[in-house]
Amino acid sequence: MRIALVHDYLNQHGGAERVLEVFMNMFPEAPVYTLIANLEKMPERFRQADVRTSFIQNIPFSKNHYKKMLSLFPLAVEQMDLRGYDLVLSSSSAFVKGVLTNPNQLHICYCHTPMRYVWDLYHQYLEEITNPFFSMALPRILHKIRIWDRVSSQRPDHYISNSHNVSARIRKYYNRESTVVHPPVSFAKPSAATTNEDFFLIVSRLIPYKRIDLVIEAFNKLNWPLVIIGDGYDKGRLEKLAGPTVKLLGYQSDQIIHEHYAKCKAFILAGEEDFGITPLEAQAHGKPVIAFGKGGALETVVAESTGLFFNEPSVDSLISALLRFQNVRFDPLQIRTHADKFNEERFKKEIKVCIDQLMRK
């Protein structure tokens, strides 16, 4: 069976890219089609792969300014020629679910979320634009992309969603049903937690909807130690907000991230995630999670057992949860056992079963 993998962008290594990496391991002969790739920012596994980019890749400065080319992405996706494949497996949170396939091909889309900046985060996204020209032009561009997104959402033969949370969005925005297969915790579960040092941890892309600013404000008020690992365009603003007990380490290797998971007191998740792999990675190290009680966290964190929730996206609500955390005892073995339910072998098995069933149909 000839298989093609399709992914939106390969310019950062986050949860979606970890899922793609598992697909690449499952189907090692399959090429990876993507709109744009900056492989210097990706792990070695991607640099060794057969990665095929769109014409966007050849536009000057596209690697760093690809977001300014949004209006070209639908055209670039539709120019991907996938006629030579029996199965197209797309990994999408934006555009590539819209690739064109024929009736003799099976297109399965593993959907991390419908395009958030044209649907549920549309108004928030516009508020973050400071350039007057883009503020005027972007609503029209996103309006056209929203129409294309709705039309192209009918192209996959079947959707697999990464959570019940995302499945509900797919049903609302695309009027399509989906099979829920939770993403994998993609590294080996440690045999034991190491230490509990006196710091809390965030591992995240530094972008506004992750609400890391809220966490920094809370830790500034408490004067408690917080370590933030990750990079993104919101880094400069967050560095200005950070008090003396908050450290922003930027991008770090998996090894450094593992070490911080193993040593932290607890992991903090303040944004509404589609699913959220990093809280599970922390739990795989036996560490509890303090999470905003909405979205994907409700499917990965068990209240009072593997973590705590705060119910309002506010500094006071988070501080209340942090103070409550001081009086709750968590069992590291119980937390690791919960995380193991999301292991990589389980993910591969569920994906293979889904593909086999759809191919037989």
CATH code that applies to domain 3-184+344-360:
3.40.50
Long-range CB contacts (within 8 A, 24+) of 239-246:
241/213, 241/216, 241/217, 242/216, 243/216, 243/219, 245/219, 245/220, 246/216, 246/219, 246/220
What does the pLDDT look like over 253-303, one tens digit per residue?
A: 888 999 999 999 999 999 998 888 899 999 999 999 999 999 999 999 999
Instruction: Give the start-to-end residue ranges of the domains of the chain.
Output: 3-184+344-360, 200-341
Burial 105-141 (b: 16+ CB within 10 A, else e): bbbbbbbbbbbbbbbbbbeebeeeeeeeeeeeebeee
User: pLDDT below 70 — which residues of the chain?
Assistant: 186-195
Tell me what pLDDT residue 344 has.
92
Cα 324 → chain centroid: 28
Task: Name, in order, each residue with C-beta under 8 angstroms of 350's C-beta and a sequence gap of 6 or more.
Answer: 181
d(CA 278, CA 262) in angstroms, rounded, equals 13
Residue given tokens 């809370």 in the structure block: 218
For 282-350, give the DSSP string.
Answer: HHHTT--EEEESSBTHHHH--BTTTEEEE-SSSHHHHHHHHHHHTT----HHHHHHHHGGGBHHHHHHH
d(CA 213, CA 207) in angstroms, rounded, equals 10
What stretch of H or E contains 261? helix 254-263
Task: Name, in order, each residue with C-beta under 8 angstroms of 184's C-beta and a sequence gap of 6 or more.
Answer: 18, 19, 22, 342, 343, 344, 346, 347, 348
Tell me what pLDDT residue 74 has.
97
d(CA 331, CA 49) in angstroms, rounded, equals 40
Residue 171 carries which DSSP code? Answer: H
Tell me what pLDDT residue 299 has.
94
d(CA 106, CA 356) in angstroms, rounded, equals 11
pTM of the model: 0.86
The letter for the amino acid at 43 is P
Tell me whether domains 3-184+344-360 and 200-341 share a fold. Answer: yes
Residue 326 near residue 274 (C-beta atoms within 8 A): no
CATH 3.20.20.70 fits 200-341, yes or no: no
Read off the tokens for 236.
């400069």
Read off the tokens for 267.
């992991």
